[in-house]
């Protein structure tokens, strides 16, 4: 499995915490890997560089993925050194567990910008060079909320539905034009990274540990899977939603599995 990552340049956004951080730590042990780590937290990035530099080549950049100008400038700087990522892993994301009418306009804009536009900015900056080179792999972190709506997750769910639609369309474009650029969507349920602190797991859908989903990602990416879903009920959700009337599905999801109450005790990371 890990042979896939040998001698690859891997760019990770949201690299200073959660999935991005652990993924970087895991692949840093692979021969010849070069890591490009982007995050908005300079202090956390510096700590990661100190930890990983003895193992592999590491380049860090304090960067806001929502700033297209900053993304383009940093991408051009990297490509000016004849470096093009072999793998882009979009992990940067935020959530605010509120009812929709409680959101400020700024919170709506920020969530969509970070979770959707930010990932698009990063991919857009490097995609032409990947296509020209004839190789590349883009991995976007989506969510099970891209399959099913949920109270207190309206804006987050909207952002992940957008990520799912964009990723699927991008996959089809790359395949149709025979670019050899792979595209993968990662679709997990709640993950124990602190981002969803306080949530209650639905029936038969346990909260994933970070090392579990990262292990699944490492394997799925190496196999060039189109979609990586976890746990099992996430794969089952689109099927149920497709065969059941909407009212019946809502009853099953809400009353039996308890999905619609999972965010009632949400705390999150806070500011």
CA 126 to chain centroid:
17
Distance CA 260, CA 271 (A): 25
61 strand-pairing partners: 38
For residue range 91-150, what is the model confidence (pLDDT) as tens digits?
A: 999 999 999 999 999 999 999 999 999 999 999 999 999 999 999 999 999 999 999 999
Q: Is the pLDDT assigned to residue 271 strictly greater than 60?
A: no
Share of the chain above pLDDT 90, in %: 98
Region 166-184: mean pLDDT is: 98
Share of the chain above pLDDT 70, in %: 99
Q: What domains are there in the chain, each with its CATH number?
A: 2-261 (3.40.50.720)
Distance CA 39, CA 172 (A): 29
Q: What is the pLDDT of residue 1?
A: 77
pTM for this model (two decimals) = 0.96
| pLDDT-based confidence at residue 183 (cuts at 50, 70, 90) | very high
Q: Is the pLDDT assigned to residue 270 strictly greater than 70?
A: no
On whether the CB atoms of residues 130 and 84 are closer than 8 A, the answer is yes
| pLDDT-based confidence at residue 269 (cuts at 50, 70, 90) | confident
For residue range 42-99, what is the model confidence (pLDDT) as tens digits?
A: 999 999 999 999 999 999 999 999 999 999 999 999 999 999 999 999 999 999 999 9
Q: Is 171 a catalytic residue?
A: no
β pairing state of 34-39 and 227-230: unpaired
Q: Residues with Cβ < 8 Å from 28, sequence gap 6 or more?
A: 35, 52, 55, 56, 58
**If you average pLDDT over every residue of the chain, what do you get?**
96
Region 208-223: mean pLDDT is: 98
In the set 5, 103, 147, 156, the catalytic residue is 156
Region 19-25: mean pLDDT is: 98
Owner of token pair 């804006």: 155
Q: Is the pLDDT assigned to residue 4 strictly greater than 80?
A: yes
Q: What is the pLDDT of residue 258?
A: 97
Region 176-202: mean pLDDT is: 96
Distance CA 137, CA 185 (A): 11
Region 173-200: mean pLDDT is: 96
Q: Is the pLDDT assigned to residue 237 strictly greater than 70?
A: yes
């Amino acid at each position: 499995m890990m042979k896939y990552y040998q001698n690859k340049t891997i760019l990770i956004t949201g690299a200073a915490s959660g999935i991005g951080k652990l993924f970087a730590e895991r692949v840093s042990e692979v021969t010849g890997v070069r890591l490009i780590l982007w995050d908005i937290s300079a202090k956390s990035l510096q700590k990661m560089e100190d930890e990983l530099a003895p193992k592999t080549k590491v380049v860090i950049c304090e960067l806001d993925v929502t700033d297209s100008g900053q993304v383009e400038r940093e991408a051009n700087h990297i490509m000016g050194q004849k470096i093009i990522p072999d793998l882009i892993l979009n992990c940067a994301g935020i959530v605010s567990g509120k009812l929709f009418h409680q959101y400020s306009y700024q919170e709506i804009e920020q969530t969509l910008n970070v979770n959707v536009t930010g990932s698009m900015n990063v991919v857009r900056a490097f995609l032409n060079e990947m296509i020209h080179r004839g190789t590349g792999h883009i991995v976007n972190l989506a969510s099970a909320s891209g399959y099913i709506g949920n109270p207190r997750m309206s804006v987050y769910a909207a952002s992940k539905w957008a990520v799912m639609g964009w990723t699927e369309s991008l996959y089809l474009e790359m395949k149709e034009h025979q670019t050899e650029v792979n595209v993968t969507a990662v679709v997990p349920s709640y993950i124990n990274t602190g981002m969803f602190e306080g949530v209650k797991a639905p029936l038969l859908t346990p909260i994933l540990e970070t090392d579990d989903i990262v292990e699944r990602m490492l394997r799925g990416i190496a196999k060039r899977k189109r979609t990586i879903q976890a746990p099992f009920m996430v794969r089952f959700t689109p099927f149920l939603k497709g065969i059941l009337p909407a009212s019946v599905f809502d009853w099953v999801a809400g009353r039996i599995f308890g999905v619609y109450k999972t965010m009632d005790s949400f705390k999150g990371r806070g500011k």
